[in-house]
Structure 1
Amino acid sequence: METHVLTFRITTPFDEWAKTYDGSTDLQKAAGITSLYRGVSKDDPSRCCAVMQAEAGVMERFIADNAELIASSGHVLESTTAQVFLDHA
């Protein structure tokens, strides 16, 4: 399982972006993604963070397959920085 920490810019108010993100929860679950957190920067209302878990390759496919929906939320796809973490004991 991979934990993805995505940071990115938005062009809409956070509440509007969050409505689209929250509305895609069933789509995320169907793809095998578990959303753990989403929030806005304390210092910059145009910066967001989303933390999700999925098996390897799932997140990349989901973003590619749903780019239009993601962009329609105000998420600036080109601004996305992704970090992937593994849980190794």
Structure 2
Amino acid sequence: MKVATRIVFKISNTFSEWAKAFDDDRTNQEAAGIKAIFRGVSETDSSTVMAILEAEPGVLGKYMEGNKDVEASGHIIGSEEFSNWMA
């Protein structure tokens, strides 16, 4: 069963810079079994981003753990708030 995970986190660069890095990594995400459903920036705080990703339980955490590209994208590791949603 796939789970949709909503992640809200801080970035250290602009949203367009982060989004380009995120989009450029889509092939790797998909190969890991992660489907990007949505990504966006807060209308009131340009350093706050939300992404909704779908994957089997445990896949997203494993993908993010130790992934240098995640941090290099501007994503501030440790700033995440996760919530899972099931259909």
Query: Residue 64 of structure 2 aligns to a residue in which SS?
Result: helix
Q: CA deviation at 1:65?
A: 4.2
Query: Residue 77 of structure 1 aligns to a residue in which SS?
Result: coil
Q: Which amino acid aligns with 2:23?
A: D
- Does 2:82 align with 1:82? yes
Query: Residue 7 of structure 1 aligns to a residue in which SS?
Result: strand
CA distance in 1, matches of 2:3, 2:83: 10
Q: CA deviation at 1:7?
A: 0.2
The alignment covers a number of residue pairs equal to 86
RMSD after superposition: 0.7
Q: CA deviation at 1:77?
A: 1.1
Structure 1 portions without partners, runs of 5+ = none
Q: Indicate the residue corresponding to 2:20 in structure 1.
A: 19
CA distance in 2, matches of 1:38, 1:77: 17
Q: Which amino acid aligns with 2:80?
A: T
Q: Percentage identity across aligned positions?
A: 34
Query: Residue 20 of structure 1 aligns to a residue in which SS?
Result: helix
Q: Indicate the residue corresponding to 1:70 in structure 2.
A: 70
Deviant stretches of 4+, over 4 Å: none
Deviations 1:12-60 (A, max 9, x none): 0000000100001000000000000000000000000000100011001
Query: Residue 16 of structure 1 aligns to a residue in which SS?
Result: helix
Q: Which amino acid aligns with 1:81?
A: E
Q: Indicate the residue corresponding to 1:52 in structure 2.
A: 53
| TM score, norm. by length of structure 2 | 0.96
Query: Residue 65 of structure 2 aligns to a residue in which SS?
Result: helix
Q: Which protein is richer in helix relative to its size?
A: 1
